[in-house]
Structure 1
Amino acid sequence: MTSHHETSAKRLSFPRQFARTQRYTLGAPRAFTVAPDGSRVVFLRSPSGTVRAGSLWVLDLDDGIRERVAADPGALLQGAEEELSTEERARRERSREGGGGIVGYAVDGAVELAAFALSGRLFTAELRAGTARELPVAGPVIDPRPSPDGRWVAYTAGGALRVVGADGGGDRALAEPEAETVTYGLAEFIAAEEMGRSRGFWWAPESDRLLVARADDAPVQRWWISDPAHPDRRPAAVPYPSAGTPNAEVRLFLTDLAGERTEVVWDRTAFPYLARVHWSSGGPPLLLVQARDQRVQQYLAVDAASGETSLVRLEKDPAWLELGPGSPAWTHGGELVRITDESGARALAVGDRALTGAALHLRAVLDVGADDVLVSASAGEDAGDPEIGQIHVYRVDGSGAERISEGPGVHTAVRGGGVTVLASARPDEPGTAVAVWRAGERVAEVASYAERPVISPRVELVAAGPERIPCAVLLPRGYAEGDGPLPVLMDPYGGPHGQRVVAAHNPYLTSQWFADQGFAVVVADGRGTPGRSPAWEKAIRGRLTLTLEDQVAALHGLAGRFPLDLDRVAIRGWSFGGWLAGLAVLRRPDVFHAAVVGAPVSDQKLYDTHYAERLLGHPDEEPAAYAEASLVTDDGLSAPEDPARPMMIVHGLADDNVVVAHTLRLSSALLAAGRPHEVLPLTGVTHMTPQEQVAENLLLLQVDFLKRSLGLG
C-alpha cells in the first residue's frame, strides 16, 4: 500500500524533497528511552516526513502492543507559533538540531514522568496516564530534567538553575548568576560543540541534591556576528574561544534543594576541561577532567559531603585522549567503565581489565547492566572489505563480546528492563528500522513516517591504495559498462568525528544525485576519520594535510577499477570537508580541477581551542603546524606558476561556529594572488542549512558550477 507521503514525494525532485524532509530525518523515530520495568518505550517523532514539529510518543509493551502520543506540541501551544530564545537557538545549533516542537526530553528514574521545554515554557507528561500539562514557571526554560524520584523538575532560565515541584509548586532558584557572563546548569560552548557534553547539571540518585556546573565566559574574547542584509540590526556578541585564547572558566558545585552549595575541588589549572560527569547508584559522583592539550586526563571520584576529589585513574597519550560517548560510568558493583586506547586498539575496560581487543574498535558505551556492558563497535584494523562501514551492537562481559545486531548496516541500541530497542540503518533500505526485543524475541517495531527518497544509491564499498582507505564509489544509475570514463567528483568530509563511508542507504543520497548528473562520485575516509584504529585517527596530529594525501591516494587507487577520467576531477565539501576541498585545488592543482568549498576552516587559528589545539597544538608553541594547514598563508596558497583552478566558496553569514571571516580572508588572499574564484554568501544561514529553498538551490548551483568548471555539457 502506498502512503500519501510516498505518493506526494514522487512528484518532487530530489533536491526539493531532500530539503523539505530535512535530509529525510522528519518523521523518523529517535531519542529512545526504555522504562526499567520494561513496560514501555518513550521516543520522539514528528507526524509526517515533512512536518518539523516533533511529538513525544509512548510504545506500550504490556497488555498489548500499541503506540500513543504522550505530548503533542500543537495541542499544548494551541496552534501558536513556536518561539525560541537566543540561548535555545544556540543550544540547537551546537547539537545540529534542525527540528521543531519537542526536540528533547528527560525522564525520572521510573520513566513515568517526562519533562521538556516547548517555546521556552516548561511542560511535563505523565507517561502512564498519557496526559501533559504546563508548569507555570519563569522562562525561557532550557533543559528541564525530573529528579529520579519524580518529585521535582530542575531547569535553567536566565542563566540560573531553578527547581519546581512536579505539581507546579515551590518554584525557586538554587543558583543565580553573579554577573551577565555567568551561567549555572548550562554547557559552555566548548563542552557542547566539541566534547559532546550538552548538560550542565546532574541529579543525585537520591534526588536530594545536584551537581551544577558554573561557567563564566568573561575571559573569552567577543566576536560580533552581524547580518549584512539587515544593517538596522545590532550585531550579536558571541563569546568565541579561538585557538590560543582563553576558555570559559568552569567550576562545579554540589547543591542541595535549599540552595546550600559546596564546591567540588580539583586542580582546575592543570585540568581546566570538565569533559564528563556521571552520578549513579554504582558509586560516588565521577568526573573526567582533561588538560588543555588533551594529552593527560584524570578520572576523579567526588566526596559528596566535602566536595573533595580523589584520583581513580590517570591516563596519558602522546597525541590526544579521545572522549568516548557513554564513558566513564560505574558498574553496579562500583567498577570503573571506560573507553580507552590501549595496545593499539580502542577498547572497553572495566576496572583494570580490557574486555575487548584488536578485533573491535569501540564507538560508544550504550548501557551498563548488572552482568554486562552494551556497546557499539566497528571491526578493528585488520578487518577485510566486507566489514567496511559497518557498526554493530555487542554485549560484552568477562568472557568476551557477543554481537547482537545482524546483517550489514549501522546499528545502535538502547536497553532497559530486559528490553532492547535496536535501530538499524542498512545499505539496501532507506531510513532506519527500529525493532523492540524482549527475552530474545522480536516483539514490536516502531514505525517511521519519514518519506521514501525518490532515488536509491548505487554504491560499492571498497578499500583503495596501499593504506586500504575505505571508499564508497557511486556511478550514474543509468551507467553501463562500455559507456566510457566519467568525470570524477570527490565528495569527502575527511576529518575527525566525520565518518562518511558507512554501510547504510541514506548517507549516499546526495552523492548519488550528483552521480546522476554525469559524475563518478568517490567518498573516501582517509587518516583522521573515525572507525578504524586510534593510530589511524591520530596520524594527523600536527599534519592535517595528510588528509589530502589520502584523497589523492584513494583516487589513484580506484582509477584502475572504476571508469574515472583523471583529467576531469572536482571536489566538494563542507566545514572540514570545505577546507579539504580548498586545500585540494590550491596544493594539488595537478590532480584537482575545480572545487566547491563550503564553510571552510581556512585558518585553524580562527577555530575553537579544543578542536584546533587537539589536532595542531597551541598556536604559540606550534606555529608551523597552523601555517602548513592554513589556506590563507603563503604556505596555503599554491605557487604562482601553478594553474589556477575554479573555486566556488559558500558560507552562511550567520555561522557562529565557522565564522564567515574564514571565507572573507580566503577570498582576499585569492584575490591578492590573482586566483579566480566565486563567493556565494548565504544570508541568515548558520553552519547548518535547514532552510528549504536555500538547501535545494545550493545543490543545483553546485552542479551548474561543476559542469561549467569541468567543461561539461
Structure 2
Amino acid sequence: MTGQLSFPRQHARTQRFSLGAPRSFGVSPDGSRVVFLRSRTGTDRANVLWVLDLDTGREYPAADPVVLLGGADEELSAEERARRERSREGSAGVVGYAVDGAVELAAFALSGRLWVAELRSGTARELPVPGPVADPRPSPDGRHVAYVAGGALRVVAAEGGADRALAEPENSTTTWGLAEFVAAEEMHRLRGFWWSPDSDALLAARADDAPVQRWWIADPAHPAAAPAEVAYPAAGTPNATVSLALLGLDGTRTDIEWDRERHPYLARVHWSADGPPVLLVQSRDQRSQAYLGVDTATGATRVLHADEDPKWLELFDGVPAWTPDGRLVRIADEGGARVLVVGDRALTGPQLHVLSVLDVAEGDVLIAAAAGPEAVDPETGQAHVYRVNELGVERLSDASGRHSAVRSGEVTVMASASLDTAGTRVRVLRDGKPIADVPSYAETPVLASRARLTRAGARGIPCAVLLPTGHRAGDGPLPVLMDPYGGPHGQRVAAAHNAHLTSQWFADQGFAVVVADGRGTPHTSPAWEKAVHEDFAGVTLDDQVEALLALAEDHPLDLGRVAIRGWSYGGYLAALAVLRRPDVFHAAVAGAPVTDWRLYDTHYTERYLGMPQERPEVYARNSLVTDAGLSSPAEQTRPLMIVHGLADDNVVAAHTLRLSSALLAAGRPHEVLPLSGVTHMTPQEEVAENLLLLQVDFLKRSLGMV
C-alpha cells in the first residue's frame, strides 16, 4: 500500500507538512534578533533552535540536538510524553524553549536533560541537574533557570551549580510547577510556574491529583506489559486540587489565597513589571470567573473584574495582561460580539471577532481577529492582525488569508497563509516595513488544494467545497464526502491552502468533498459558538444537513450517495450522522469518537453539557450509546467503520468499545479498526498513511463506487 511517493505517504512523513516550517518565534527587545524553531528538512523530525541576526541577515543554529546528543537517540520520560500529547507535539529535538527578558539566554529540555543556549554566540551547554527535566525557564535577568524534575520545582544558576529545590512534593500524587491534566488539555495552560519581573521569586502551582479517579490503559497487543495508570477526571468526578504559592529564591513561601471552593479552576496567570500578578480563576461550571490581583507580601487577592455568563465563559490566549500604564487587558463577550477591553473600555466592536491578544505595548495592543457579526462583506475563513488603541483599529496584515504575529518593540514577525499558496510565509517587519523572510524547508505537497470557500443555507454556514482535480462543469453529480470537525475550538474552513490538502486528496479519489463549520465552531460571534449549549447532537448535526442540502442546489452533489468522516469530535459527528440521519448519510468513518460524554473530561464536557448527576437527560440525549443515540430504525443501518488508538489517554478506547457493544446489542453491523500503540494523535507514519487508504477503500465500497 506504500509504493512510490503518494500524498498519503508524504502527508504522514512530513507530519502534515509541518516539518521544516519555522515556528515558536521570539523577538529580542532591542530588535536585533529573532529566535525560532525549525528542522533542517521537510522530513526531519528534530527541531533546531535558530537565531536570525537582523543587523547582518545571518541565520545560525544556537542548539542542534544532533550535535548536543552526539547522534544518540532522544530519550523521553513518561511525563514528557504526556506533555507532548497534551500539546499535540509530534516532532522531536528542541520542541520548546523559554528565554530571559533580553532574549540573550534560552533554556530547553532535550532527552530529559537541561540545556541553555547563549543566543548571541550560538553556543549551547548542558547544566548537570537531576532529571528528567520538564519546562525549564530562565529568570528575566538570565541569572537562574527554574525547572521541574520529579514533581519538584527546582532552580539552578545559569552558569551551573547551586541547584536546589524550592518546593518538593509531599507524596506521589502531588507535583509543583506543572499543569494538571485539564489545564493542559482543555484550558491551554501548559505551564505551572511564573518568574517575578525582579527574578527573585516564582509563582508556582501545586497540583494534587489524589481525588482524581484512576483509569488503567493497557496495550492488548503486549499482554505481558502492565497497564498504565492514568488519573482521568471524567465528567462529574473530582478534579485535581490546585493551589498557588509564591516561592522566594531566599527560601520563603507565601501561599496565595482565593475562594477555591467558588473558583477551583486556575485558568491563567500573568506577571509582568506593569502591575501585580493577575490570576484568572473560574467556577467549575465556567459560568463565573474572576480576575484577581495578588498582594505578593501577604498572598491575599482582590477582585479586579468579574464575569458571569448563563452558558459559559471562554478562555483566550494572551490575556489577562497589563498595559504599561497599568490598565487590565482582557477579551470579553459584550453586546453580541467578542471584543478587546482595555481598562473599562471596549476598543473593538461587532465588526471584529477577537481571537487572541498577541502583544501589549505602550500606545497599542496587537490582536488577531476574524470578521464579527456586523462585518460588512465578511471574508470566510480569514483571520488578520490588527493594531488597536483609543484612536481606532488598523489592519496590519495586507493580503487575504490567515495571519498571526509575534512582536517586540519595533520588530514584528508575521506568519501568513493563503488559500492559493502552499505553506506559510514568515516575514520580519520593522516599523511595518519588511526587512527579512524566515525561510521554510517544508516540502511542497504533491497535490494542490482547490477549495472554494462559501457560505451555505439560511444561517450562512461557512463551507469549503472541493471537487476532483480536472473536474469540469457538466461532468455530472459526484458522490459526496462530508469532512467536518464540527465542534468547539475546531475551525476547518480556513483561508489556508494546506488546511484543505487531505480533503482535496479525498476529492481526487472521486468525491465532492464538503467541509462545513456549523454552529459551535469558532466563527463570527459568541452566539454562534454557544448555540451548542446542552445540544451537541442536535445543533451540529442539523447544520451539516443544512449545509449539504443548500450546497446541492448549485454544486454537483449526488444526494443519493453521501458519506461522512471525522476524528475526535468529528468522529462523534460522523457516527451521529449515520445513526440519527440515515435518510441523509449513507456511510461513515468515525475516528477516535467520543460516544459517551460521561467518559470525557470535566472542564470540556461540563462547560457544554453540565454535570451528569444534575442533567442526566442531557447526557443521554447527546450520547451515541443510549436509546436516544440509536434512535433510527434498525433496518436503516448504514455502513460504519470505527477507528481508535488503544493507547489514547484523551478519548479512551472505552468510547469505541461501548459503542460497538451497543451496536451489536441492537443488531447493527459495523466495523472496528483498533490501532495498537496509537494515541489520539496517530503520529506513526505507516499508520497515518494507511488510515487514509483504508478509509477511501471503505467509503468507495460502502457507496458502490467500486
TM-score by length of 1: 0.98
> In structure 1, what is the Cα distance between the partners aligned to 2:335 and 2:184?
30
The aligned residue for residue 701 of structure 2 is 708
- 3-state SS of 1:366 partner: strand
1:75-127 alpha-carbon deviations (Å, 9 max, x no partner): 00001100000000000000000000000000000000000000000000000
Question: What is the CA distance between 1:407 and its match in structure 2?
Answer: 1.4
Question: What is the CA distance between 1:383 and its match in structure 2?
Answer: 3.8
> Segments of 4+ in structure 1 off by > 3 A?
382-386, 639-642
Out of 450, 456, 462, the residue aligned to residue 458 of structure 1 is 450
> In structure 1, what is the Cα distance between the partners aligned to 2:304 and 2:233?
30
1:171 aligns with 2:163: yes
| TM alignment of 1:541-620, pairs within 5 A | 541-545=533-537, 546-620=539-613
Query: Is residue 73–residue 101 contact of structure 1 (8 Å, CA) maintained in 2?
Result: yes
> In structure 2, what is the Cα distance between the partners aligned to 1:468 and 1:384?
14
> In structure 2, what is the Cα distance between the partners aligned to 1:440 and 1:469?
35
The aligned residue for residue 205 of structure 1 is 197
- Amino acid of the structure 1 residue aligned with 2:598: K
Question: What is the CA distance between 1:258 and its match in structure 2?
Answer: 2.9
> In structure 1, what is the Cα distance between the partners aligned to 2:667 and 2:634?
11
The aligned residue for residue 29 of structure 2 is 36
- Amino acid of the structure 1 residue aligned with 2:637: A
The aligned residue for residue 82 of structure 2 is 90
- Amino acid of the structure 2 residue aligned with 1:152: H
> In structure 2, what is the Cα distance between the partners aligned to 1:689 and 1:414?
30
- Amino acid of the structure 2 residue aligned with 1:647: L
Out of 55, 59, 68, the residue aligned to residue 60 of structure 2 is 68
Question: What is the CA distance between 1:406 and its match in structure 2?
Answer: 1.2
- 3-state SS of 2:636 partner: coil
> In structure 1, what is the Cα distance between the partners aligned to 2:378 and 2:323?
34
Question: What is the CA distance between 1:259 and its match in structure 2?
Answer: 2.8
Question: What is the CA distance between 1:417 and its match in structure 2?
Answer: 2.5
The aligned residue for residue 123 of structure 2 is 131
> In structure 2, what is the Cα distance between the partners aligned to 1:55 and 1:478?
40
| TM alignment of 1:638-677, pairs within 5 A | 638-677=631-670
> In structure 1, what is the Cα distance between the partners aligned to 2:651 and 2:377?
35
> In structure 1, what is the Cα distance between the partners aligned to 2:489 and 2:532?
13
The aligned residue for residue 3 of structure 1 is none
> In structure 1, what is the Cα distance between the partners aligned to 2:460 and 2:633?
34
- Amino acid of the structure 1 residue aligned with 2:37: L
Question: What is the CA distance between 1:642 and its match in structure 2?
Answer: 4.6
- Amino acid of the structure 1 residue aligned with 2:227: P
> In structure 2, what is the Cα distance between the partners aligned to 1:648 and 1:168?
55
1:249 aligns with 2:241: yes
- 3-state SS of 1:591 partner: coil
Question: What is the CA distance between 1:263 and its match in structure 2?
Answer: 0.5
- 3-state SS of 1:387 partner: coil
| TM alignment of 1:401-480, pairs within 5 A | 401-480=393-472
> In structure 2, what is the Cα distance between the partners aligned to 1:503 and 1:663?
33
Question: What is the CA distance between 1:641 and its match in structure 2?
Answer: 4.5
1:342 aligns with 2:334: yes
Out of 308, 316, 340, the residue aligned to residue 300 of structure 2 is 308
1:164-215 alpha-carbon deviations (Å, 9 max, x no partner): 0001110000000001000000000000000010000000000000000000
Out of 135, 140, 162, the residue aligned to residue 143 of structure 1 is 135
Question: What is the CA distance between 1:229 and its match in structure 2?
Answer: 0.4
> In structure 1, what is the Cα distance between the partners aligned to 2:541 and 2:368?
29
- Amino acid of the structure 2 residue aligned with 1:638: S
Query: Is residue 173–residue 259 contact of structure 1 (8 Å, CA) maintained in 2?
Result: no
Query: Is residue 363–residue 531 contact of structure 1 (8 Å, CA) maintained in 2?
Result: no
> In structure 2, what is the Cα distance between the partners aligned to 1:568 and 1:315?
47
Question: What is the CA distance between 1:385 and its match in structure 2?
Answer: 6.1
Out of 144, 148, 155, the residue aligned to residue 147 of structure 2 is 155
Query: Is residue 10–residue 454 contact of structure 1 (8 Å, CA) maintained in 2?
Result: no
Query: Is residue 639–residue 669 contact of structure 2 (8 Å, CA) maintained in 1?
Result: yes
Query: Is residue 394–residue 401 contact of structure 1 (8 Å, CA) maintained in 2?
Result: yes
Query: Is residue 385–residue 462 contact of structure 1 (8 Å, CA) maintained in 2?
Result: no
Query: Is residue 188–residue 215 contact of structure 1 (8 Å, CA) maintained in 2?
Result: yes
> In structure 1, what is the Cα distance between the partners aligned to 2:373 and 2:186?
26
- 3-state SS of 2:536 partner: coil
The aligned residue for residue 270 of structure 2 is 278
Structure 2 unaligned runs (5+)? Answer: none
Out of 26, 40, 45, the residue aligned to residue 47 of structure 1 is 40
The percent identity for this pair of structures is 72
Query: Is residue 422–residue 434 contact of structure 1 (8 Å, CA) maintained in 2?
Result: yes
Question: What is the CA distance between 1:384 and its match in structure 2?
Answer: 6.1
Query: Is residue 152–residue 165 contact of structure 2 (8 Å, CA) maintained in 1?
Result: yes
- 3-state SS of 1:670 partner: helix
Query: Is residue 640–residue 673 contact of structure 1 (8 Å, CA) maintained in 2?
Result: no
1:426-462 alpha-carbon deviations (Å, 9 max, x no partner): 1111110000000232100000000000000111000
Query: Is residue 634–residue 667 contact of structure 2 (8 Å, CA) maintained in 1?
Result: no
1:359-412 alpha-carbon deviations (Å, 9 max, x no partner): 000000000011100000001124466600000000000011100001111100
- 3-state SS of 1:659 partner: coil
Query: Is residue 385–residue 461 contact of structure 1 (8 Å, CA) maintained in 2?
Result: no
Task: Supply the RMSD in Å over aligned alpha carbons.
Answer: 1.0
- Amino acid of the structure 2 residue aligned with 1:682: L
1:236 aligns with 2:228: yes
> In structure 2, what is the Cα distance between the partners aligned to 1:533 and 1:316?
17
> In structure 2, what is the Cα distance between the partners aligned to 1:146 and 1:10?
48
1:353 aligns with 2:342: no
The aligned residue for residue 387 of structure 1 is 379
Question: What is the CA distance between 1:639 and its match in structure 2?
Answer: 3.3
> In structure 2, what is the Cα distance between the partners aligned to 1:87 and 1:436?
35
1:468-491 alpha-carbon deviations (Å, 9 max, x no partner): 000000000021111100000000
- 3-state SS of 2:648 partner: coil
Structure 1 unaligned runs (5+)? Answer: 1-8
Query: Is residue 382–residue 400 contact of structure 2 (8 Å, CA) maintained in 1?
Result: yes
- Amino acid of the structure 2 residue aligned with 1:195: M
> In structure 2, what is the Cα distance between the partners aligned to 1:366 and 1:248?
30
> In structure 2, what is the Cα distance between the partners aligned to 1:613 and 1:623?
12
Give the total of aligned pairs: 704
1:310-361 alpha-carbon deviations (Å, 9 max, x no partner): 0100100011000011111011111000000001000000000000010000
1:493-522 alpha-carbon deviations (Å, 9 max, x no partner): 000000000000001000000000000000
Query: Is residue 397–residue 403 contact of structure 2 (8 Å, CA) maintained in 1?
Result: yes
Out of 675, 687, 698, the residue aligned to residue 694 of structure 1 is 687
- Amino acid of the structure 1 residue aligned with 2:29: P
> In structure 1, what is the Cα distance between the partners aligned to 2:106 and 2:556?
54
- 3-state SS of 2:311 partner: coil
The aligned residue for residue 4 of structure 1 is none
Question: What is the CA distance between 1:561 and its match in structure 2?
Answer: 1.0
> In structure 1, what is the Cα distance between the partners aligned to 2:605 and 2:516?
22
- Amino acid of the structure 1 residue aligned with 2:115: F
Query: Is residue 320–residue 329 contact of structure 2 (8 Å, CA) maintained in 1?
Result: yes
Query: Is residue 45–residue 91 contact of structure 2 (8 Å, CA) maintained in 1?
Result: yes
- 3-state SS of 1:654 partner: coil
